[in-house]
Amino acid sequence: MKPQIQRISQISSDQSVICIIVGDQIPERLNLNSQEKDFAQTQIRAKEEYVSLNSYNRSVYIVRLKDTIIHYRVREELRRTAYNLRKLIKDNNHDDLVITSENAYKGAIEDFTEGLLLSFYSFDKYKTKTNLEEKKHYPANLLLQGEFDDSEIKWIVDVTDAVYFTRNLIKEPVNQLNATDLSQEIKKIGDSAGFSVEILTKGKIEALKMGGLLAVNKGSIDPPVFSILEWKPANHRNDKPIILIGKGIVYDTGGLNIKTGDFMAGMNGDMAGAAIVAGVMHTISKNNIPLHVIGLIPSTDNRPGGNAYTQGDIITMFNNMTVEIGNTDAEGRLILADAISYASKYAPELIIDIATLTGSAAMTFGNQAIAVMTNAERKYFSMLEECGNDVYERIAELPLWEEYGELLKSDIADFKNVGGREAGAIIAGKFLEKFAEFPLIHLDIAGTELMKKDDYYKSKNGTATGLRLLSAFLRRITVNYSEKK
């Protein structure tokens, strides 16, 4: 269970406390005796990350801020310290835990709280066995004391709620979550958060002639779905909407170009982009962000069924362009391309797609950065980069030079869905750009999303990386609109 957040004015002598400090001075309000204070100062002066003190009725954790690195790294180190403390906190079985600070930067309580909430996440829906370890629990309540912004705490609560259900969706196996199930889960999220969801089923998709989505779906016994999410508050500040597009491949076998070895493992998470878009829509709706935002989610599985699309097929996309299929495992770009074309009907200010798209992106940046390609104005990239540093979901840019488009040329169609072995992530982005009539930002999260082990508070097999980034980005854009006016 995720803890509840409450504000308190004072700390009582029997409450367990986490205190974030600068330097080695221990606040008197922690009510430590002289022996405890001397021990804590000795540990802090030895540059320990944190100090833990246990007495018969409470625990005190003192976290020392690092102050010799750039500020956004200080913020991330604080979130990571929260992760490093999580097991000790669980072992101590607190019902309530106070979080406070002394002389720390503005926002330190919020950053630590966010790190702790993200660290408490676990996916145990299908576990039936219990043991002594599982009887230990995280605190039911986090009690925040000190100076902090209530609106920031609400933002953190809503963002981490979104991360929780997004991770849950990503981790669901396909026998529990096919494309139709995913659309229904997104509808529930929309009903809860306050944004609208329209679900287009196969007949409507066929009427729209979304050839990419229909082709990928041909090998499946389950129908495709195209979901349209919309948040349009009365006070929205943008004249043209911002479009978010998420890849919704609920399982990717590679199709007839079937994945080999371990490459198919974890492919139930190939719909991470779709889940992230739903999570972002939840966050901005719950916080009444004054932007008109539309989410588009094409969804299907990619299987080598009896009528599966094949290498050499020619398909006609939503925008009437023809594509020669060079590899059925390059399916994500096909369903995204239809959605990007469909986005043109809204004449958007900006289109952002997010997808676990290429192994090339993972090989280039590992799990340290989201690969970004864009033809939009530089102001958008700059804002995205700043937000990426703030939430530590960093981005790294790859070019969309025209020469890369030459590799997609086809002898028998407008172009192919793959190029050669080189520059795979860029070629995928270049393919998507061909369908974008309006400015596009393409986010390839293959490296940051489906990790084999935890990266501090980012959980393996589905981190939801990109959700906090895009939520912060949309919030930042709102501020820019306000400043212009």
C-alpha radius of gyration, the chain, whole number: 24
Question: Of 2, 29, 209, 259, which one is the catalytic site residue?
Answer: 259
Q: Name the packing angle between helices 378-391 and 467-484 (round to 10°).
A: 130
Domain check: are 245 and 370 in the same one?
A: yes
Asked if residue 68 belongs to a domain, the reply is yes
Question: Of 86, 333, 394, 458, which one is the catalytic site residue?
Answer: 333
- The pLDDT tens digits of the residues spanning 166-208 come to 999 999 999 999 999 999 999 999 999 999 999 999 999 999 9
Q: Is residue 485 classed as helix, strand or coil in its secondary structure?
A: coil
Asked if residue 155 belongs to a domain, the reply is no
| Rounded to 5°, angle at Cα 141 from 138 and 147 | 120
Domain check: are 230 and 344 in the same one?
A: yes
Domain check: are 112 and 204 in the same one?
A: no
Domain check: are 130 and 171 in the same one?
A: no
Tokens, residue 280: 């972002």
Q: Rounded to whole angstroms, how far apart are CA atoms 215 and 240?
A: 31
Domain check: are 122 and 260 in the same one?
A: no
- Of 111, 143, 175, which residue constitutes the final position of a domain? 143
Q: Which residues contact 307 (CB under 8 A, 6 or more apart)?
A: 218, 219
Tokens, residue 159: 């963002």
Query: What residues are paired with 228 via a beta bridge?
Result: 198, 296
Q: Tell me what pLDDT residue 393 has.
A: 98
Judge whether residue 132 has pLDDT over 70. no
Choose between 178 and 485: higher pLDDT. Answer: 178
Tokens, residue 166: 């997004």
In Å, how far are 96, 100, 144, 377 from 8, measured between CA atoms? 12, 10, 6, 45
Domain check: are 109 and 195 in the same one?
A: no
DSSP per-residue string spanning 141-172: EEEEESS--HHHHHHHHHHHHHHHHHHHHHHS
Position 107 confidence tier, pLDDT thresholds 50, 70, 90: very high
CATH number at residue 352: 3.40.630.10
Q: Rounded to whole angstroms, how far apart are CA atoms 178 and 225?
A: 10
Asked if residue 297 belongs to a domain, the reply is yes
Asked if residue 151 belongs to a domain, the reply is no
H or E, element range at 90: helix 71-91
Domain check: are 288 and 410 in the same one?
A: yes
- Of 79, 112, 143, which residue constitutes the final position of a domain? 143
DSSP per-residue string spanning 344-362: GGG--SEEEEEE---HHHH
Active site residue 29: no
Closest CA to 145 of 3, 5, 4, 8: 8
Asked if residue 154 belongs to a domain, the reply is no
Tokens, residue 122: 């676990």
Q: Rounded to whole angstroms, how far apart are CA atoms 111 and 134?
A: 27
Domain check: are 106 and 212 in the same one?
A: no
Q: Tell me what pLDDT residue 69 has.
A: 85
Q: Rounded to whole angstroms, how far apart are CA atoms 53 and 31?
A: 12
Domain check: are 137 and 170 in the same one?
A: no
Q: Which residues contact 169 (CB under 8 A, 6 or more apart)?
A: 177, 182, 185, 271, 275, 278
- Provide the number of structural domains found in the chain: 2
Q: Name the packing angle between helices 272-286 and 179-193 (round to 10°).
A: 10
Separate counts of helices (H) and strands (E) for the chain:
16, 18
Q: Is residue 457 classed as helix, strand or coil in its secondary structure?
A: coil
Judge whether residue 369 has pLDDT over 80. yes
How high does pLDDT run on average in the chain? 95
Whether the CA torsion 379, 381, 384, 385 is positive or negative: it is negative
Q: Rounded to whole angstroms, how far apart are CA atoms 320 and 325?
A: 15
Closest CA to 345 of 285, 296, 273, 274: 296
H or E, element range at 310: none
Domain check: are 107 and 206 in the same one?
A: no
Q: Rounded to whole angstroms, how far apart are CA atoms 337 and 214?
A: 12
The number of angstroms, rounded, from the C-alpha of 202 to the middle of its chain's C-alpha atoms is: 28
Closest CA to 140 of 96, 110, 87: 96
Q: Rounded to whole angstroms, how far apart are CA atoms 389 and 269?
A: 25
- The pLDDT tens digits of the residues spanning 75-104 come to 999 999 999 999 999 999 999 999 999 999
Asked if residue 153 belongs to a domain, the reply is no
Domain check: are 139 and 174 in the same one?
A: no
Position 225 confidence tier, pLDDT thresholds 50, 70, 90: very high
Tokens, residue 357: 């798209």
Domain check: are 270 and 360 in the same one?
A: yes
Give start and end residues of each alpha helix (H) in 146-271: 150-171, 179-193, 202-208, 211-217
Q: Which amino acid is at 350?
A: L
- The pLDDT tens digits of the residues spanning 252-264 come to 999 999 999 889 9
Asked if residue 51 belongs to a domain, the reply is yes
Judge whether residue 280 has pLDDT over 70. yes
Q: Which residues contact 261 (CB under 8 A, 6 or more apart)?
A: none
Position 366 confidence tier, pLDDT thresholds 50, 70, 90: very high
CB 61 within 8 A of CB 18: yes
Tokens, residue 408: 């997609």
Q: Rounded to whole angstroms, how far apart are CA atoms 165 and 177?
A: 13
Most confident range (mean pLDDT) of 62-71, 144-153, 410-419 is: 410-419
Q: Rounded to whole angstroms, how far apart are CA atoms 368 and 24?
A: 32
Position 136 confidence tier, pLDDT thresholds 50, 70, 90: confident
Active site residue 259: yes
Q: Is residue 97 classed as helix, strand or coil in its secondary structure?
A: strand
Tokens, residue 410: 């086809």
CATH number at residue 56: 3.40.220.10
Asked if residue 149 belongs to a domain, the reply is no
Closest CA to 254 of 269, 272, 267: 267
In Å, how far are 210, 315, 432 from 338, measured between CA atoms? 6, 12, 9
Stretch 424-437: mean pLDDT: 98
Q: Which domain holds residue 393?
A: 162-484
